[in-house]
Amino acid sequence: MGFGRRTTVVVGGSFAGRRVASLLATGDPCLHEVVLVEEKGYTEFTPSILRTLVEPGHPVWEPIQATGIPVKVVTGRAAGASLCKDGQHQGQLALADGRTLPYHFLVIATGSSYLWPIKAGSGDEVKLSTRKEAVSKAAEELRSAGSIAVVGGGPVGVELAAELAGKFGRSKNIVLLTNGSRLLQRMPQKAGYTASRWLRLAGVEVLHGAKVVQWPEGSRQRLCSGTLITQSGREISADLTIDCTGVKLNTELYTSLVEDREGGPEAAAEASRQGIPVKPTLEVVGCPGVFACGDAAGVAAERTAYTADLMAVVVAKNIALLVSRKDSKDAQKKLKEFPGGALSNAWLGQGLQEAPSIAAISLYKYDGIMQFNNLIITGPLAAGTKVMVEFFQLGIARGNTILSKLWLTLEAMNTVMAALPLVLWHKWTELKAFVQAYEAF
């Protein structure tokens, strides 16, 4: 592959994909072309879709052409990719309409799918007019329902139950079921306690250890009525049941790269469960020139917008390095690793062994839960943080360069503040182990 103008194709225009494209677009366009492929043709701020389900006028969409990213935007669905070299490019991306896009570097940022209409589906379902109509229809169904069963005690289930209770009060019979011993099990205990207390005070019945073994037909694909049966035998009938038990990772593009190889079908099946296998540099294992980030990537970190941003920074840095270096072997040695590679400070970056945990969960409009590693902050400050993130993200999507630069600064500060205690703790445990080994010697 000669050292000429390189082309990077980024598939997926949500948090990770848009961030990679915007960071790479700051380079010399004469040396590097950046193409962003997005099926929807618009940006959706997914964390706020739950608010839109109870208040349909709440804005969460912006046309992707107005994102302010100086890249070539292609609206279309990625149908498959190949690594076959044509002498000029590393491989080709095939779109569903028959178009092909050659690339030197491919970024898979295809994210994840969720119960419709919490996340858009595919095909006609992703059209903006169809998407808005579906959300409005779902909002009307929620408004009309007298009883609602929400299944899943993670962030989505908790937020949705809180939005429903906050909007409609005790006029509806709302039940939240989780098969765990508490809500928000992947967050510190205080978060689960706060969520349970808030929901119960708002009139929501919270059932722990309530594993659903029988679902109403079709309820795992759409909102529908019916009766849930738990493992204990309890029957819960509701006008609407909503499955918030987890996401489906969108790894089909990776499947197209490996399905014809020996062991490819097994690797593809594993990726659909655990995420696309990646090296610490976020290069896809066995696929030169291909990177993965966001929900679709198989990394040991929570799948949050913040984590997606960190991965995007690492991917962008590594592709920029590969583009700028004539000696690819030399460049490979200097690639950044996730998560430390997202930091500008070398000492912090080298010492960071795990991604910081930063997340915000709304408990309707004026309350919330914010996680900063093991620190849990509750109340209006947490709710305000979620509102601020939405304000920044939608502003950035509209092409506001001031908000974009300010966001990068704030995110960098937060990352350093979150990373510092993790690094210091890691260094302390290393020192303690060294002292113990020395004393034993």
Q: What is the mean pLDDT of residues 53-64?
A: 83
- Between CA 12 and CA 39 the distance in angstroms is 8
Q: How many CA atoms lie within 13 A of 39 on its CB side?
A: 20
Task: Show the tokens assigned to 352.
Answer: 């960071």
Residue 366 — very low, low, confident or very high, per pLDDT cuts 50/70/90? very high
pLDDT at 223: 85
Q: Find the angle CA(84)-CA(308)-CA(277) to the nearest 5 degrees.
A: 45
Mean pLDDT of 308-336: 86
63, pLDDT greater than 90 = no
Give the pLDDT band (50/70/90) at residue 168.
very high
From 30-34, 88-92, 180-184, 383-387, the region with the lowest mean pLDDT: 88-92
More confident residue, 265 or 27: 265
* pTM recorded for the entire structure: 0.87
- Are 329 and 36 a contacting pair, CB within 8 Å? no
How many residues would you count in the chain?
441
Phi/psi for 353 (5° steps) reads -100, -20
Inform me whether the pLDDT recorded for 336 exceeds 70.
yes
Mean pLDDT of 210-229: 87
Q: Judging by DSSP bridges, how do beta strands 173-177 and 205-207 pair with one another?
A: parallel
Cis-peptide into 339, omega within 30 deg: yes
With contact defined as beta carbons under 8 Å apart, do 416 and 351 qualify? no
Q: Which of 64, 62, 60, 63 minimizes the C-alpha distance to 49?
A: 60
As a dihedral over the C-alpha atoms of residue 321, residue 323, residue 329, residue 330, rounded to 10 degrees, the angle is -40
Superfamily designation of domain 145-243? FAD/NAD(P)-binding domain (3.50.50.60)
For residue range 84-141, list pLDDT tens digits in order: 665 556 799 999 999 999 999 999 999 998 877 788 766 656 788 888 888 999 999 9
Whole-angstrom distance, CA of residue 426 vs CA of residue 420: 10
Nearest to 356 by CA among 321, 324, 407, 309: 309
Map the chain to HEC letters: CCCCCEEEEEECCCHHHHHHHHHHCCCCCCCEEEEEEECCCEEECHHHHHHHHHCCCCCCEEEHHHCCCCCEEEECCEEEEECCCCCCCCEEEEECCCCEEEECEEEECCCEECCCCCCCCCHHHHCHHHHHHHHHHHHHHHHHCCEEEEECCCHHHHHHHHHHHHHHHHHCEEEEECCCCCCCCCCCHHHHHHHHHHHHHCCCEEECCCCEEECCCCCCCCCEEEEEEECCCCEEEEEEEEECCCCEECCHHHHHHHCCCCCHHHHHHHHHHHCEEECCCCEECCCCCEEECHHHEECCCCCCHHHHHHHHHHHHHHHHHHHHCCCHHHHHHCCCCCCHHHCCCHHHHHHCCCCCCEEEEECCCCCEEEEECCEEEECHHHHHHHHHHHHHHHHHHCCCHHHHHHHHHHHHHHHHHHHHHHHHHHHHHHHHHHHHHHHHC
Looking up tokens 């095909």 gives 123
| Residue 217 to residue 415: CA distance in whole angstroms | 44
pLDDT exceeds cutoff 90 at 368: yes
pLDDT on residue 123: 62
pLDDT at 87: 52
φ, ψ dihedrals at 68, nearest 5°: 80, 10
| Burial class of residue 333, CB neighbours in 10 A (0-12, 13-18, 19+) | exposed
Q: Is it true that domain 6-116+248-342 has CATH number 3.50.50.60?
A: yes
Cα end-to-end distance, the chain, whole Å: 53
pLDDT at res. 95: 95
More confident residue, 178 or 246: 178
pLDDT band at residue 349, thresholds of 50, 70 and 90? low
Give pLDDT, residue 66.
44
- Write down the mean pLDDT value for the chain: 87
In tens, the pLDDT along 257-266 reads: 998 888 889 9
Residue 20 has pLDDT above 90, yes or no: yes
Range list for CATH 3.50.50.60 in the chain: 6-116+248-342, 145-243
Cα dist. 146→171, 231, 418 in Å? 8, 25, 43
